[in-house]
């Protein structure tokens, strides 16, 4: 049953929903019915929700390989996302893409891709389109700290600055690209200094603090409204699970145990929950009812995905211009 969520509690609800959806995906992954690689954002929920809370539905968002949170925070349809992950015809990409190819044009979630930095130049394209059309649509491209090592990011910074595009690039800095930490990959050269050198406005903050993420993004949106130039935002956060897949991988020892433990103490969902309870914006009974309602919604989405058929073999070349027949 849909329930009424007070306005000030909505961002918390959305973070909790992303967390519970991903926990359910992780739990069922071993059933081997989701046949695509899956990168979970558990621990990082405040960035997608905080950033998207500052956007309008007409604004456009691109994700990367770790995009369930972005898709849901932008208003993407949970049934269609779950069906996509199950490879079913009712998925948001007809079951052809899986977890890393999510699109929902109804809410301007423009897409995501496993190719690191693949969506960065696409965001320039939508930014340029908004500028040429003279509308007020903003483009947001989410990416990780590892993405910064791709040459196209730097070309894109240059192009966006030259063309004065209304884009916000949001870097979720979780300190790791797969198993390698930031210091081993990049010299001491803060990412926002590079953006600044291109003449972009920059902002940075605690990516586990939803209010801070939302405020910093609102400021970036206001600057774009004022002068139309590109914005770079960097938020520190941390992934809890393995790079790809539903498990923990701390036994591999690539991340110090005390680092993992200290970030888990800074859980974005729990921090916001504690705040709402202490300021009495929410009661424990309401919290329990939200959780119950989300779990019911998730169960229905799995039923929807499982009941949906696989795409037919005849449709294999439907969107292709290389049909051999
Ligand atoms: C062009 C390209 N290079 C390498 C990879 C392999 N790869 C997939 S995800 C990833 C790490 C990306 O790290 P980051 O951008 O920090 O995102 P995170 O996984 O930490 O969220 C890499 C190297 C890829 N998919 N595409
Ligand atoms: Mg990273």
Give per-residue pLDDT as tens, 249-274: 999 999 999 999 999 999 999 999 99
* Minimal-distance CA residue to ligand 1 atom 2: 116
**How many Å separate Cα 138 from the centre of its chain?**
16
pLDDT at 36: 97
Buried b (16+ CB within 10 A) or exposed e, 223-243: bbeeebbbbbbbbbbbbbbbb
Q: How far apart are CA 292 and CA 79, in angstroms?
A: 17
Which pTM value belongs to this model? 0.97
pLDDT one-digit tens code per residue, 75-90: 999 999 999 999 999 9
The H-assigned helical ranges of 134-190 are 151-163, 182-185
Q: Is the pLDDT of residue 1 over 70?
A: no
pLDDT at 64: 98
Ligand 1 pocket: which of 44, 65, 100, 113 to mutate (most atoms within 8 A of CB): 65
Q: What percent of the chain is modeled with pLDDT above 90? A: 94
Output the ligand 1 site: residues, CB below 6 A.
65-66, 114-116, 143-147, 174, 176-178, 243
CA of 307 to the centre of ligand 1 (A): 33
CA of 64 to the centre of ligand 1 (A): 9
The domain limits of the chain are 7-35+42-62+114-296
Q: How far apart are CA 217 and CA 170, in angstroms?
A: 9
Please give the class, per CATH, of domain 7-35+42-62+114-296: alpha beta
pLDDT one-digit tens code per residue, 83-120: 999 999 999 999 999 999 999 999 999 999 999 999 99
Q: Is the pLDDT of residue 193 over 60?
A: yes
DSSP 59: S
């Amino acid at each position: 049953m849909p329930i009424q969520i007070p306005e000030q509690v909505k961002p918390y609800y959305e973070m909790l929903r992303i967390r519970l959806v991903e926990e359910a995906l992780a739990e069922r992954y071993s059933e081997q019915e989701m046949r695509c690689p899956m990168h979970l954002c558990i621990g990082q929920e405040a960035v997608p929700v905080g950033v998207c809370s500052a956007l309008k539905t007409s604004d456009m968002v691109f994700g990367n390989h770790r995009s369930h949170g972005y898709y849901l925070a932008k208003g993407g349809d949970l049934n269609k996302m779950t069906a996509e992950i199950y490879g079913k015809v009712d998925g948001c990409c007809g079951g052809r893409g899986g977890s890393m190819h999510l699109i929902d044009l109804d809410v301007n979630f423009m897409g995501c891709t496993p190719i690191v930095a693949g969506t960065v130049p696409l965001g320039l394209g939508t930014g340029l389109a908004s500028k040429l059309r003279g509308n007020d649509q903003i483009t947001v491209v989410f990416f990780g700290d590892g993405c910064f090592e791709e040459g196209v990011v730097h070309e894109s910074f240059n192009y966006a600055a030259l063309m004065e595009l209304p884009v916000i690039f949001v870097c979720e800095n979780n300190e790791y690209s797969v198993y390698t930490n930031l210091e081993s990959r990049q010299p001491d050269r803060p990412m926002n200094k590079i953006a600044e050198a291109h003449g972009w406005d920059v902002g940075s903050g605690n990516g586990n603090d939803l209010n801070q993420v939302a405020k910093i993004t609102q400021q970036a949106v206001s600057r774009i409204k004022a002068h139309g130039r590109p914005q770079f935002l960097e938020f520190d956060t941390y992934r809890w699970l393995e790079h790809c897949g539903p498990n923990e991988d701390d036994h591999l020892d690539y991340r110090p145990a005390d680092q993992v433990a200290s970030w888990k103490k800074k859980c974005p969902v729990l921090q916001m929950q504690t705040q709402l309870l202490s300021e009495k914006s929410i009661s424990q009974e309401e919290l329990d009812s939200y959780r119950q309602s989300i779990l019911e919604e998730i169960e229905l989405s799995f039923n929807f995905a499982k009941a949906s058929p696989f795409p037919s073999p005849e449709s294999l070349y439907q969107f292709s211009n290389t049909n051999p027949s």
